[in-house]
Amino acid sequence: MKDLKFTEDLSRDDVTLMALSAKKKSGLTWEDIAKEVGMSPVWTHAAATGMAGMPQDKAETLVRVLDLPAEAVDVLTECPSKDWSRDIPTDPCIYRLYEIAGVYGPSFKALVHEKFGDGIMSAIDFDMEVTRVEDPKGDRVKVEMTGKFLPYKQW
């Protein structure tokens, strides 16, 4: 007979669903939650949904703010598998990010090499903000990213 004690663990997916459900019930925005946690909204959302691991104190704050079960702290502090689909998503809001990468990616590469030489912008030592910019012709979404330049080692 299978041992039930092993099937009761909270999985990373359980915690993500709990966090999204609790957030909706709480009436808080991600901006609000991020302020409580003391981090940026992009990172806070990513960490709450399994795309970043949290330090112990941040995880405890998140659990308190969203009234999650205490066991969720252990899950939130793990190093997650940051799996994303190699099939480009079709939801129009997310798809446009990939379209931008597709259309302007070669221009990005040309300018990085022009300004830094051979290497890449890190996606690990990286940060990102999303803000609303007022504009009389229609407000604009602003995305800002910075990533450390990493030169290729030559050995």
Q: Name which of residues 90 to 149 contact a second copy (CB under 8 A).
A: 90-128, 130-133, 135, 137-149
Single out the residue of 26, 57, 64, 82 in contact with a second copy (rule: CB under 8 A).
82
Looking only at Cα atoms, what is the longest distance across the chain? 67
Query: Which residue is listed with tokens 């051979």?
Result: 118
Q: Of 45 and 61, which CB lies nearer to a second copy in the complex structure? A: 45
Q: What interhelical angle do 56-66 and 12-26 show, nearest 10?
A: 50
Q: Is 57 in the site for a second copy (CB under 8 A)?
A: no
Shortest Å distance, C-beta 48 to a second copy: 9
- Note whether 70 binds a second copy by CB under 8 A: no
Is the distance from CB of 65 to CB of 36 less than 8 angstroms? yes
Look up residue 106 and give its amino acid: P
The verdict on 66 binding a second copy (CB under 8 A) reads no
Catalytic residue (choose from 31, 78, 99, 144):
99
Interface with a second copy includes 27 (CB under 8 A)? no
Look up tokens 């998503």; give the residue: 89
Q: Judged by CB, which is closer to a second copy: 39, or 65? A: 39
Spatial separation of the C-alpha atoms in residues 138 and 24, rounded to whole Å? 28
User: CA–CA separation, 26 vs 18, rounded Å?
Assistant: 12
Q: Which residues are annotated as catalytic? A: 96, 99, 122
